[in-house]
Structure formats: structure tokens, C-alpha cells
Amino acid sequence: MSLRFHWMLPKGGEVGMKTAQETSRVATTKAGSAAALPDMEGWVRFARCAEEAGIESVLLSFSRYEPDTIFVACAVGQVAKKLKFIVAYRLGLMQPATFVQQINTLSGVIGGRVSLNIVAGSSMVEQRGYGDFLDHDERYARAEEFLSVCRSFWSNNGNVNFTGKYCRIEQGKLFTPFLAPDRTMPEIYVSGHSEQAQHLALTQGSCYLRLIDTPEKLAPVVKRFRDNGVEVCLRLCVVCRPTHEEAIAAAENLLPPEEIGRQERRILSSSESKTLKDALAAADEVGWMNRNLWAGLVPHYGSSAITLVGSPDDLAAAFLEYKKIGVTQFIIAGWPKLAEMMIFGREVIPRVREAESHE
């Protein structure tokens, strides 16, 4: 199996930004941020470049600071003809039948090029702003019921009946199917580092999505999921330059003013997400996790900013090391948003594909 490379879809306004400092999460949360507005011009440009670079899918992030992921995928998918969309969504904000109806409609509109990234939410304040007052563990318990109902609809084996603590369906029937050339339901990526997230991925997911770590630390985790028929996808950032030394210098130049770091740390520290806490611990305790893996940007740009840094050969070799332990997919980001992806598509993917051709 060839490695699958996905990318983060930039937030509104980010495609045209030239520095990491402009695209930080702290900037996104400010009143009047461009991230809150649809950016069809930027997204379409990025999507077409992603197709050119050999990127399979883009992940659309969900938060109160940006537009709805389902509508964005529907709109951009009208223009991009090959690119797929991993739609992040927090279950519990609508009933499962309504959710399946929307995803099935989206699949029909864009030719089945949709997958789901299921997240339980990391901020209690934000969840309550959406009307969701369950705690962390209950949100995952509800997600298991919710996805069980969704799977029943997608299996299309008659009317759906379900009685649980959080979901109840009686004689449920949807006549709009999930339409895709190769599957009858979307791939389901389940995010999170907690035991509840891992359990949900094992019982309801097709792929477990977590932050990158060293291959040595990840090997037993990956084995657990692969032994149970679940793929593993890693989230990370990349900085690729002609030499290792140039890449390190470029990565260090991404560090923002100290005030940005203080504001980002407040966001991370107030979260109940184990993913965020693990990333911050990596930044505080080790910094450089190995020769090419750096957590130094996490306190400034968030948990997914653990970064592979190096030359094209360095990065290609690193991805192949993760493949050896059973990782099959990656969701990547970089700075500047568009330029780093094009470097990756031009310099790294061909090296990976060449190596895979000799396996």
C-alpha cells in the first residue's frame, strides 16, 4: 500500500499570507479575523494546487471561528475534480439521521469524495456555546452511539431502530444513499489521545488520527490498531529545504513574538484535551524529539505544530520509517500554507514513490 498524503485546508485568508505569524491560531481567534469568512478564491486556488502537488485530500477544521465544514466541502468540491475532503465534525450538534442525510447529499454532489474526522471537542466553553453540556467522557460515549446509528443507516439493511442513553431512533429510513465509486459509507477518522478516543476509533472508526511522535514511541500504539483492522494517520507540520541546516534555520524563523506564545499557551493550558496536553509536554520536556522531529512550535501554534524538519531526502526517509511500523496516512501543514505544500509535492512525494516502487 502506498502512503497517503493529505493536507490541512488553510483557513479563510491564509492562502495569501506569507508568514506563520499571520496564520497563528491566536490571530484566528481575534474579532474580525478573515478566518471567520468564506474564502472561495483562496480555497479554490489551494485545492487546484493540492491536486497538482499529488495531495489526496484536505482536512477541513471545525470550530466556532470558521465556516461550516460541510458547506465548504460542497462548495470547493464543485471546482476541484479530484481532491477529496476530510470533513471535521463534532457529533451531538444534530441528530444522527440528519447528519447522515447531509453527508449522503454531499457525497452525491461531489462524487463521493468525502470522509469524516470525528472529534469530541476540546473546549468546554465552546461546546456549551453550541448547546452541548456533556463532559469529556460522556461526549465519547455519545459519539459511539451516534456512529453506531450512522453505520446502521449506511449499511442500508432496512429501517433503523436504536435505543441508547444518548440516541434514540424509531423506524428510521433515508432514501438518499451515500454515493461513491468505491465504498458505501465514508471513511471515519477518529481523533484524540485519550483512552476514550482510542476506544471509539477501535469500535467505530476506519482510521485512528493522532499527533506524530517518534517511530519508537508510536510502534506499539500503531500495532494495536493495525491488529484490529484500523489504519493509523499522523498529524504534523513540515519544513523542507535543500539541506538539513537550511531547514532548521527556516523552522526557527517561524517562532513568533513571545506574546503570541503566551496567548497560545493559555489556550492550550485551559483545554481538557489530552492531545493538546501531550503536545505541550513534548515541547516543554524535549523540544527536539529526534534529529528531524521538533516540538518547539507547539507553544506558539498549537498541538498539530510538531514538525518534521529537514531536506527532501530526510523527510522521505522519515515517512518511510513510519510506514515500516504500520502508519499508512498523514495529514500535513506548513508555512507559508501554499508554498510549503508545493515544495512537498515537488521534492518529497516523488522520493517516497520512488522508494515504494522498489519495496
Task: Give the chain's domains with CATH numbers.
Answer: 4-356 (3.20.20.30)
Per-residue confidence at 121, pLDDT binned at 50, 70, 90?
low
Q: What is the mean pLDDT of residues 326-341?
A: 96
Per-residue confidence at 97, pLDDT binned at 50, 70, 90?
very high
Q: In the prediction, which pLDDT does 270 show?
A: 62
List, in sequence order, the alpha helices (H) in 9-68: 25-28, 40-53
Per-residue confidence at 101, pLDDT binned at 50, 70, 90?
very high
**pLDDT digit string (tens) for 156-167?**
878 999 999 999
Cis? peptide before 220, omega within 30° of 0: no
Give me the amino acid identity at 347.
Answer: E
pLDDT at 126 over 90: no
Q: What is the mean pLDDT of residues 238-251?
A: 98
- Could you give the count of Cα atoms lying within 13 Å of 35 in the half-sphere of its Cβ? 23
pLDDT at 323 over 90: yes
Q: In the prediction, which pLDDT does 89 show?
A: 94
Write the secondary structure of 83-120 as one string of H (helix), E (strand) and C (coil). Answer: CEEEEEEECCCCCHHHHHHHHHHHHHHCCCCEEEEEEC
In 3D, which of 299, 279, 282, 276 has the Cα closest to residue 123? 276
- Give CA–CA dist 232/222, Å, rounded: 6
* Residue of 85 and 272 predicted with greater confidence: 85
SS3 label, residue 163 = strand
* Residue of 208 and 133 predicted with greater confidence: 208
